[in-house]
Structure 1
Amino acid sequence: LRQVRLTVVPGEYELQIVMPLSGQDPVQASRDVIIPDYSQQESCVLSDITLASRISPSEDREDPFFKNGLYIRPNASQLFGEGAANLFYYAEAYNTACAASGTDEYTMLIYVSEANRPAPLTGLEKRSKRRVRPTDVLVGRFNLAPLVSGTYFLRMVILDNANESKVEQARKFFVFNPSADSALAQPVAATETFETSGYATMPEDEVEQGLEHIQIIATEQELRRIRNVEDLNERRRLLMDFWLVRDPTPRTGVNEFRDEFYSLLMYANERYSVQRIDGWETDRGRVLIKYGRPSAIEQHQYDRGFKPYEIWNYNNISGEGQAMFVFADLDGFGDYELVHSTVAGERKLPDWIRRISESY
């Protein structure tokens, strides 16, 4: 994960990110960005909210993740839960005098809500009186361990003395928490229908993200259905059916296969995210999710004459037996690409040792 800072004057911009790939077309992404002129604002303003996996005091001004005396490591995937229960947040409030009504204090409300209900969740709400200043740094954390899997929002509201909202800001995030899901799970009837399931009302963006995830392990027939089905309800059914046929205990409210899948996905995001690429989208993340945790990993970070590389060994992959994967940081960006594997259908390069040499 890397961060780049650009100093620009207020205005409207298009941000483009281009990442070159060895022997392939570059990966590109773009988005429109509006930089407000906070100095000209008379009303209260809230910046965008940064969701982070860690925030701690820091004096290292050279660190790209340093800001206002803090080390802020963004959670690019916006996915929290098992193994990553703490949601850290950072934002800035400007011109807060507009909410003070002649006093030297204003009220800040920060809370977590469900995606379809803007009300604060119990135990996940912070209300505080804060001193008026031109720029106020808002930083803190919430423990999301009690939350079940789903889509949520972190919301910030500046309130005036009459408890009326002056300005609001929100940031969506996702929780995958099988431990909390299991605690609430109830036996389900074998005849449960789509209409009575949670998939029937699943938000479209959550459906699309779920369908992106499962393509790692989907069959060719399932991939064709994902590409060809356009109706939202049918895509919801597709996602439900995908997990249902893989559920080892369909009469319970817990799908152990799905839980393990997302446990590996979250681990991949934590360990292998690079630049703006989530860990599950990298070669190491895909292999981890598809084949499980390797039996052993050989790390070669500083071998003279070679680019950094890793060898993953598996004692037994179904239908393959013992297997090996070789990943290398070919471009120096920290994204280890798969250069060779002994598994059928994966990339093969018998002379892989030459490919990872510095002289290639």
Structure 2
Amino acid sequence: MINRIFFIKALVITLLMCQGSSVEAKRLMAEMSYATFYTPQGGSYLETYLGVRGKSVVFEKKANGMFQGVLQIIMVFRKDSVIKTYRKYELLSPEQADTSLTVFDFIDQQRIPLEPGTYDLELTLYDRAQPDNKYNYHIPVEIFYDRQQVVVSGIEIVDSYKPSVTAGMMTKGGYDLIPRVSNFFSQSATSLTFYTEIYNSDTVLGEKEKLVASWYLQPYESGKKLDSYSRSKVIETRQVIPIFAEFDIKNLTSGNYNLSIEIRDKNNKIVGYNSLFIQRSNPRLNDSLMADIPTSVESSFAITMSNNDTLRDWVLSLRPIATVSEKIFIDNQAKEASSVNLQRFLNFFWQQRNEIDPLGAWLSYYSEVRKVNKLFGNKFRRGFDTDRGRVYLQYGSPNTITDRPFDASNSQMTNNRGGTTGQDGGLVPYQIWHYYTIKNQRNKKFVFYNPHLAGDDYTLLHSDAQGEFYNPQWQTQLKRIQLENVDNGQNGFDGQSGRYYNDPF
């Protein structure tokens, strides 16, 4: 099954006070995530988790003298433009005697039965005290279930839990689970707790057979399994197998990671897999990387290169595919590092990605570096240091590129591989890159633009890929004359640029 954390970044919007209203204008702040599950009795369903910052809600006084915030929530699920189901309800905050004191955040969880397929979830959210300021968003949802496969459900991050006394909506695997909506773990977070389920192992692998379930963390950039954050368990097959586990992450360094669930049969063949993207910030460990790198460089392929400037350029070119801790060395230490330390870092970097042939991995990557330097380099910076170069090196060549030069220019882009050229009235130059797949993600896009008309210097404006800069107002920012209302929360992606974005073919 598909599990996806989706940050509603545009939900942090300015709510303007209506004329004559005594209600103070506030910025409504919330996050939403979801996971998909299955029950033999009821079929597949979607769980949504909505977290709301209490201080961003307008609290109104009730008849009992207490204060309470009320949000109006509307969820409409469409499949092939046909409404399949919907939810419309009020989300009530905890009552407060005094809103000048601590105002608690609150969460909402919904279970929506949905048949397997791809849906468009239209979410409408607004504060009842400010009904004219509605937020509307469209979220792609995919429900996958196949009786002929071993299926791993979505992965629910758990904030807290307790043994269940009476089964309810929060109950799974004998516990009442309070979901953690965000996939971001700050320095104060000391554990990562999660819940997932395995389906159909008895019918696919046979009854009372053995399987191995593994769960582990891997840096999103390198994909290498972290041994210290890897666990496995031999389990007997059955219809539904719950996995409820926890990692101590006090010593997990800052970075982007995948929490991966892997199922292997008795022949050690992978028969089921799912993953969840998470982010960690742990500044106290940011300077520990060099201490973990072997001091000897005698066996390093980099020992043949002793020119400090060349070594530094090589190390700087690794930034597009580096982990967060590696980027800290590249950004803060590489410029002053000795040749020996640069050699150490270069060798360690590629040993982490290819233990058998680190030199071959480096040469293959460096060939791509030279390519992006030629394609995207300009008088301001080298190609690997540009946004387009970084995306190309990190994800590879896009499947399609839509290239729209400045409407007053007759020039054509020289690095347009498979895209279109032409004029787009009123817009600055922009490109839309489309990837069919990026790791475990499908149908992802990147929008680059050149707002200052500075040669071939394009900047990333928006992407819907995990961990990338998400900007629902990207179409507004393409305008040569900016629109005034940039906080209306709408993102219909219409107009000519919207058509290229929605249908890049």
Q: TM-score, normalised by structure 2?
A: 0.36
Query: Is the radius of gyration larger for structure 1 or structure 2?
Result: 2
Q: TM-score, normalised by structure 1?
A: 0.49
